[in-house]
Amino acid sequence: MTDPDHISPKTAPACIGIILDGNRRWATARGLKSWQGHEAGVKKLKEVTSWAIEAGVRHLICYTFSTENWERPKEEVDFLMKIITMAITTEMPWLLEHNVKVTTIGELSRFSKETQDALALIKYRTETHTAITVTLALNYGGRAELVRAINKLRTEKQNLLEPVTEADISGALDTAGLPDPDMVIRTSGEQRLSGFLPWQAVYSELFFPAVLWPDLSKEQFMGLLDEFARRVRRFGA
């Protein structure tokens, strides 16, 4: 049972990482196409964003499309690209009305020009918004991000002849300027991070609810925040 007294801007996590898992299984269980599961997943992200705002969460980092997702059937990948592009256009009024800022992490150059342009537009239109920042991890992989960071530091620090600090690495990552996630939620019950934020999530509290992403309810989401508020974070100590 969720205790509303435990959920407030003082106790809510400032930043939540979410692995949006279970869209395809949700679709299969209903005799639908996989892309229809991804459509349902987009709708759920909108709902979760509104719940997060209500709870006082400041940042969501959402594992939307991984570097490994390119291995899926071409038809599914093509539909995913269309869904991402269409969702940006369709949800623009809602994002503007609710003061939601959208950013991205990952390597976007592999996406079509249409998708890249849509992402650039939504980031530009929402860059001054302050209710919550939703960061979409697109063509993102934790190891690839670390490689990008190392190469960036090689340039900045004369091929790493100068000492490198933790702050240097954090500042060279895709997430530079964002807080580390206080908690990471992976829906579907799978208990692994699959390359999601390996540096940033080192001290995150982990939650693996056995519910497919499109089926996540407000009560379940708030229940996870309630459980987070009850935990004592030790940061490795």
Sorted by sequence, the CB contacts under 8 Å of residue 71 that are 6+ apart come out as none
Going by the DSSP 8-state scheme, the letter that residue 2 receives in this structure is -
Cα distances (angstroms) measured from residue 53 to each of 8, 40, 79, 114, 233: 11, 20, 29, 30, 23
Residue 188, marked binder: no
Is 174 catalytic? The answer is: no
Is 148 one of the annotated binding-site residues? no
Whole-angstrom Cα distance, residue 55 to residue 49?
10
Binding residue per annotation — 204? no
Report helix, strand or coil for 134.
strand
206 is annotated as contributing to ligand binding: no
Q: Which of 3, 5, 21, 215 is catalytic?
A: 21
Backbone angles phi, psi at 64, to 5 degrees: -95, -40
234 is in an annotated binding site: no
Q: Is 62 helix (H, G, I), strand (E, B) or coil?
A: strand
Q: Is 213 annotated as a binding residue?
A: no
Is 11 among the annotated ligand-binding positions?
A: no
Q: Report the C-alpha gap between 216 and 135 in whole angstroms.
A: 19
Q: Is 66 annotated as a binding residue?
A: yes
Does the annotation mark 69 as catalytic? yes
34 is in an annotated binding site: no
30 annotated as a binding-site residue: no
Residues belonging to the binding site for Mg(2+) are: 21, 205
Q: Which residues are annotated as a binding site for substrate?
A: 22-26, 38, 66-68, 70, 72, 186, 192-194
Residue positions forming the annotated binding site: 21-26, 38, 66-68, 70, 72, 186, 192-194, 205
> Which residues form the catalytic set?
21, 69
